[in-house]
Amino acid sequence: MSGVRTRRQAAAISSPATPSPAARDTEMTASGNGSAHHEIKEIYPKENVFLFWPNIIGYFRIVLAFASLYYMPLHPRTCSILYSISCLLDALDGYAARAFEQSTRFGAVLDMVTDRCTTACLLVFLSSAWPRWALIFQGLISLDLASHYIHMYATLIMGGGDSSHKKVDKSRSWILNLYYTNKTVLFVFCLFNEVFFIALYLLSFSSPYLSPSLLEVKKTGGASSTLQPSSGASAASMLLANPHSAAALEFARANKMDSTIPWIIAGISLPIMAGKQFINVVQLVKASRWLAEGDIEMRRAAGLPRKNKVK
């Protein structure tokens, strides 16, 4: 019996005990030989990017912008308030994105598209309010859209899909680096750029110096007279059957508000607005050059231009 026990003990020592299935799976996973379904994965809650708080704020901005456009032709005070709130919420969505850790590429695109569209709509109205200056407003719309589109496109193509259009290296442009990385600078330029255009919008209702033709009313005999401002709205309902007609617009704009405050706001915000347009020009030029650098690299990689063989 003692001899048998000795042989069994020796066999147990020479061959280790068979591990359990759980222990074998753990060992295979640790050694890299286990299959994927044995790996431990973190479980994240299901998220809907469209319902993130920054994006909800963005949707609210769009609603306010549409409301301001509805009131824009005939109700300057209501329109200005709604438009201003929509612009101010542009800063709030950034804080919400950082506070709730909900920064997304969709949110960044939504924010940029909303900014461009609302500004363009206001400038379109200014073009119709002041036809003699329409070319300038159309040029500002084109510059704003072109510079931001080319800048974002160049960032995605040259910087990679994970790059942000707000991350601009100092070596490429110190002005754009300061503009996009310093939140205070970005807020001030964007705010006063919109404030200037709002002031021009208010002046279209209040300044005969900019739009003197708004006060001229044609008489049946061909002579013209000056329509004096009045506070009553009953005359408009008596003379104009359709309150949304072009005649109603002219009549409403002739019933003026005081122009002192809009002139002061326009004078203060004009230099900053001009600086914002200069930044747009720099952004357009830098982005175009960056894309051109990428084109040269691609052509060199493809062996272009082809060299003519000398016989």
DSSP result, 13-43: HHSPPPPPHHHHHHHHHHHT-S-GGGS--PP
Considering the domain boundaries, does residue 37 fall inside one? Answer: no
**Could you read off the pLDDT tens digit of each residue along the chain, which spans 311 residues?**
444 444 445 444 444 455 555 555 555 444 545 445 556 667 888 899 999 999 999 999 999 999 999 999 888 999 999 999 999 998 898 899 889 999 998 998 999 999 999 999 999 999 998 888 999 999 999 999 999 999 999 998 888 767 778 888 888 899 999 999 998 999 999 999 999 999 999 998 876 666 555 445 445 455 544 444 444 444 444 444 565 556 666 666 655 667 889 999 999 999 999 999 999 999 999 999 999 999 999 999 988 988 765 55
> Which of left, alpha, beta for 160 (phi over 0: left; psi -120 to 50: alpha)?
left
- d(CA 176, CA 159) in angstroms, rounded, equals 15
Considering the domain boundaries, does residue 15 fall inside one? Answer: no
Considering the domain boundaries, does residue 55 fall inside one? Answer: yes
Are 210 and 199 contacting, i.e. CB atoms less than 8 angstroms apart? no
Considering the domain boundaries, does residue 20 fall inside one? Answer: no
Considering the domain boundaries, does residue 134 fall inside one? Answer: yes
- The CATH number of the domain where 75 resides is what? 1.20.120
Residue 138 to residues 141, 244, 305, Cα–Cα distance (Å):
5, 24, 39
The pLDDT of residue 29: 47
- d(CA 203, CA 198) in angstroms, rounded, equals 9
Considering the domain boundaries, does residue 158 fall inside one? Answer: yes
- The pTM of this model reads 0.73
Counting the structural domains of the chain, the total is 1
Considering the domain boundaries, does residue 21 fall inside one? Answer: no
Are 253 and 204 contacting, i.e. CB atoms less than 8 angstroms apart? yes
Considering the domain boundaries, does residue 120 fall inside one? Answer: yes
Biggest distance spanned by C-alpha atoms of the chain:
139
Are 88 and 128 contacting, i.e. CB atoms less than 8 angstroms apart? no
- d(CA 27, CA 293) in angstroms, rounded, equals 52
Contacts 24+ apart (CB under 8 A), 287-290: 287/147, 287/150, 287/151, 287/153, 287/154, 287/155, 288/150, 288/154, 290/154, 290/158, 290/172
- State the residue range of the domain holding 186: 49-207+258-298
144 included as an active-site residue: no
Q: Can you name the residues that pair with 110 across neighbouring β-strands? A: none
Are 79 and 122 contacting, i.e. CB atoms less than 8 angstroms apart? no
The pLDDT of residue 254: 56
The pLDDT of residue 164: 79
Are 76 and 205 contacting, i.e. CB atoms less than 8 angstroms apart? yes
Indicate the angle between helix axes 105-129 and 53-71, nearest 10 degrees: 10
H/E stretch holding 175 reads helix 174-181
3-state secondary structure of 161: coil
Could you say which of 115, 144, 162, 295 is catalytic? 115
Q: What are the tokens at 3?
A: 């001899």
